[in-house]
Structure 1
Amino acid sequence: MADAALRLTALAEEFLGEKLPVRIRAWDGSRSGPPGAPELVIRHRRALRRLLWKPGELGLARAWVAGDLDVEGDLYEALDLLASLIWEREKGTEGAGILDPVRDPKLRAFAKGLLRMAGPWTPPAPPAEEVRRRTGPLHTKGRDRAAISHHYDVGNDFYSLVLGPSMVYSCAYWEDGGTLEDAQRDKLDLVCRKLGLKEGDRLLDVGCGWGSMAIHAAREYGARVTGVTLSVEQAAFARKRIADEGLTDRVEIRVQDYRDVRDGPYDAISSIGMAEHVGSDRFREYADDLYALLKPGGRLLNHQIARRPEPDEGAYQVDAFIDAYVFPDGELAPLGRTVSILEAAGFEARDVESLREHYALTLRRWVANLERHWDRAVRMTSPGRARVWRLYMAASALAFEHNRIGVNQILAVRPAAGGASGLPLRARAWTAPATG
């Protein structure tokens, strides 16, 4: 089969009704497609079997993670070109097997053509990096611990390569010409200023990661910080950093579920990139718990990725690739729903700031770090794990750039007696440049 690329191109174009915008290079060495375009490399016929057994995004993800599918050339350009042809066409097909009845004649013809080229008709095993599902309800404490471990306990050294010295795994706050470390410091300072932290304030950092927010708040603002995480590896790393900074008298890191924190009230709570793990069914519980942990007049800074609302919210589906390989059980909510639930719990939303473009810039820097240290990243984890992170971060950068998802900082207050917020009349003092 010395013409596999040409045959695949013809099949795809007949199904799509338009020319493929990328080149195809097949396992037999053949090439087809527009010269100079990014090249979709199908290294093994097994990639076709993965797609046939699991149509849609999950089949493609398995082929990518296993190394059966690759891109040569500009990954961002390739994902941009393929997005409208794959992810925007697959609604309604996810989860259907090739042996199920296919109502669309064009899809049936495409599947039959792939079947003739796919080789032995056996379902390939999923890559080892795919999460092994637990049964039972979502977002129990045990299931959440397992999900967090899957994502974060892949090695602190690996994350150091990707995130850089700041060890902050959420979007930075950019100025033109700044470094990633500068932008992450400015983001942490922005959060501290929005929370109005001052000497001696008690801060609860929910989902404290590797301790960067806790260290900044204690060192720069004199806060007394409790950080909670479900990741054992993160906690160990954070504690060492805190000891090295001489801040053990001001910062405590716990391996603890936020639902088990009982030592309020706190003057302020930061939740930076954690609420995406909570899930829609548990978000009111999350809001209630944080409200109860704040003193009257205390402030919450909720920094959270948001999806765009669906015309039919009942039809919303979690992204199959991210759920299987990146954030098991994670779920994005529209901004309006998040604000509504926080206010239903008793909070007053005082400020919302979108940092969408900032996250795209951050992700591109992380991808560049990963690519620059690729061989070391593979040795520290696995080829499949490194491929997961590269695809996830590059695709997410494009999603932020094209306004398919956003990220917002919501500043909310637990009102004091008589409804007092404790904020000054002109509350946006935090927009002033960080002092560094």
Structure 2
Amino acid sequence: MADAAGRLTKLAEEVLGAPLPVRIRAWDRSESGPPGAPTLVIRHRRALRRLLFKPGELGLARAWVAGDLDIDGDLYEALDRLAGLIWERSDAPKPPRAALVRALARPEIRAAAREMLALAGAPVPPTPPAEELRRRRGPLHTLRRDKEAISHHYDVGNDFYALVLGPSMVYSCAYWESPQATLEDAQRDKLDLICRKLGLREGQRLLDVGCGWGSMVLHAAREYDVRAVGITLSEEQAGFARKRIAEAGLADRIEIRVQDYREIHDEPFDAISSVGMAEHVGRTQYAEYADALYSLLKPGGRLLNHQIARRPVVDEEAYHVDEFIDRYVFPDGELAPVGRTVGQLEEAGFEVRDVEAIREHYALTLRSWVDNLERHWDEAARLTSPGRARVWRLYMAASALSFERNRIGVNQVLAVRTPEPGDAGVPLRARDWTG
């Protein structure tokens, strides 16, 4: 089985009908592919067995998580070159599955496929790393299943997240004055922007849905003198947030609950922030989510919904969730086009007053998180697991490229429960939030 890299390169190029965009280095130390390009390192032939068992993205993800695949060189450049092959990017010349079907009709490709089976060795694929893979249980978006999904993503250790997120402990898109700003300044500016859009004033009552580690409610209470309730489904987040609040001397003005938004019954609130949480709600539950937030607000109250959006597709019913993200990162999460989000908020009774698209800001944020993870790699792997650290590095780097390429976006939607006879109570000049 000498020159495994050369044989794999030839096979890949025959299937794709185009030159391979990266180099390959195989387990036998052979190399092949364009000089100077990032190198896809296949550490073990197990990687091929995973691909044969689950062709496409999920097989590649399993090999990556297990450490059977790696990248030597610039990770972003490698993912950018591979994007059309892995994620079926809309500007890719040929969808990989269609190309594969056509290729397998040719005798020489069938022979090459048999050769890949020989290269892979034993035909039975090994089990993927169980501790990194979310096991689905029960109907979608029940209280129990949503809590389990949130725990899978967020209960991986506060110390791990502190390495990635930095001192702000904010796990959502920052708001950058310039690419040269610090992550801390950008996250502080994002929290303050939300408070100003909500028009927070002394003595008001704020609900933060999906409060994370408490950064939003801390900023609002400290800088705007509000009383705040933060809810999360993560026990680890709640414990961390309560400790921060006590240390800040704000325990009399901030309450943290482990609670689902569907279980809140102590309304009304003057304002609601929902930052990076609605992605977990799901298409079937979004109307209920919008109705619930509307009912929790006082007339005249404002909602700031900060949410990732995907691009629309021709057949929305055929849209499917990214397998790698669903199985390893955000179980049961779903993205919707911003138009659908605005429409459902309006159907719940809200008056939508502003939509601000900030996708470039998320690309900068993700690159900062990846930098933090890579600088603290050994400690991050120790605090969680090598496989989990590899999952986070891949998904954050790939997501940064998705925002940069406009495959996904992120929007802040300001909506008001406008009272009769119709004065929404917002300034006359757009985005003069405190006027």
Smaller-chain TM-score range?
over 0.9
Question: Counterpart in 1 of 2:166?
Answer: 164
Contact 1:228 1:258 in 2 (8 A): yes
CA contact (8 A) 1:38 1:74 kept: yes
1:32: Cα distance to partner?
Answer: 0.4
Q: Determine the C-alpha separation between the residues in 2 that align with 1:86 and 1:78.
A: 11
Q: Which residue of 2 aligns with 1:133?
A: 135
Paired position in structure 2 for 1:28: 28
Aligned residue among 112, 132, 135 for 2:114: 112
d(CA) in 2 for partners of 1:267, 1:108: 65
Task: Tell me, yes or no, if the aligned pair for 1:283 and 1:341 is still in contact at 8 Å.
Answer: yes
SS in 1 for 2:126: coil
**Residue 407 of structure 1 aligns to a residue in which SS?**
strand
- 2:413 counterpart residue number: 410
> What letter corresponds to residue 45 of structure 2 in structure 1?
R
Aligned-partner residue type, residue 372 of structure 2: N
CA contact (8 A) 1:129 1:325 kept: no
Give the AA of the match of 1:63.
A
C-alpha contact (below 8 Å) 1:200/1:223 kept by paired residues: yes
Q: After superposition, where does 1:17-166 map in structure 2 within 5 Å?
A: 17-88=17-88, 93=97, 104-105=104-105, 108=110, 111-166=113-168
Post-superposition offset of 1:131 = 3.0
1:367-378 superposed matches below 5 A? 367-378=370-381
CA distance in 1, matches of 2:156, 2:414: 32
Q: Report whether the alignment pairs 1:306 with 2:303.
A: no
Q: Which residue of 2 aligns with 1:297?
A: 300
- State the secondary structure of the residue aligned to 1:429: coil
Asked if 1 retains the 8 angstrom alpha-carbon contact of 2:137 and 2:145, the reply is no
Amino acid paired to 2:40: L
C-alpha separation between the residues in 1 aligned to 2:61 and 2:78?
A: 15
Structure 1 residues 198 and 111, CA gap change in structure 2 (3 angstroms)? farther
Q: Compute the displacement of 1:110 (Å).
A: 5.2
Counterpart CA distance in 1 for 2:71 and 2:103 is 31
Asked whether 1:327 is paired with 2:327, we answer no
**Secondary structure of 1:409's match?**
strand
Structure 1 residues 418 and 70, CA gap change in structure 2 (3 angstroms)? same
Query: Amino acid of the residue matched to residue 195 of structure 1?
Result: L
Distance 1:109 1:328 in 2: 38
Partners of 1:110 and 1:403 in 2: how far apart? Answer: 36
Three-state SS of the structure 1 residue aligned to 2:85 is coil
Two-structure CA RMSD over aligned residues (Å): 1.8
Contact 1:131 1:328 in 2 (8 A): no
CA distance 1:122–1:144, shift in 2 (3 Å): same
Distance of 1:27 and 1:48 partners within structure 2 = 11
**1:121 to partner: Cα distance:** 1.1
Whether the 8 Å CA contact 2:6–2:30 is kept in 1: the answer is yes
- The alpha-carbon distance between structure 1 residues 108 and 139, as it changes in their structure 2 partners (threshold 3 A), is farther
Counterpart position of 1:4: 4
Q: CA deviation at 1:113?
A: 3.1
Q: CA deviation at 1:92?
A: 8.7
**1:2-30 deviation line (CA, Å, top 9, x unaligned):** 20000000000000111111110000000
1:209 counterpart (205, 209, 212): 212
Q: Is the 8 A contact 2:273 2:304 kept in 1?
A: yes
Q: Post-superposition shift, 1:129?
A: 3.5
Runs of 4+ residues over 4 Å off in structure 1: 89-94, 101-104, 106-110
C-alpha displacement at 1:360, in angstroms? Answer: 0.1
The superposition leaves residues 43-69 of structure 1 with CA deviations (integer Å, 9 ceiling, x where unpaired) of 000000000101111000000000000
Moved more, 109-118 or 211-220: 109-118
Q: 1:185 aligns with which of 179, 185, 188?
A: 188
CA separation of 1:184/1:364 partners in 2, compared to 1, >3 Å: closer, same or farther? same
How far did residue 134 of structure 1 move?
Answer: 2.9
- Determine the structure 2 residue equivalent to 1:420: 423
Name the stretch that deviates more: 123-132 or 7-16: 123-132
* 120-129 or 260-269, which deviates more: 120-129
Cα deviation for residue 167 of structure 1 reads 0.2
- In the alignment, the residues of structure 1 paired with residue 327 and residue 378 of structure 2 have an alpha-carbon distance, to the nearest angstrom, of 24
Q: Do residues 247 (structure 1) and 238 (structure 2) align? A: no
CA contact (8 A) 1:228 1:254 kept: yes
Q: Distance in 2 between the 1:425 and 1:26 partners?
A: 63
Shift of residue 293 of structure 1?
0.1
Partner of 1:173: 175
- Percent of paired sites with the same residue: 75
Matches for 1:226-245 after TM superposition, within 5 Å? 226-245=229-248
Q: Taking structure 2 as the reference length, what is the TM-score of the superposition?
A: 0.95
Q: For the residues of structure 2 that align with 1:144 and 1:160, how far apart are their CA atoms?
A: 24
Q: Shift in Å at residue 93 of structure 1?
A: 5.0
| CA distance in structure 1 between the aligned counterparts of 2:345 and 2:44, rounded to whole angstroms | 49
Could you tell me how far apart the structure 2 residues matched to 1:203 and 1:420 are? 21
Q: Structure 2 counterpart of 1:314, which letter? A: E
**Structure 2 Cα separation of the partners of residues 426 and 132 of structure 1:** 47
Map of 1:367-406 to 2, 5 A cutoff? 367-406=370-409
- Gaps spanning 5+ residues in structure 1: where? none
Alignment length (residue pairs): 427
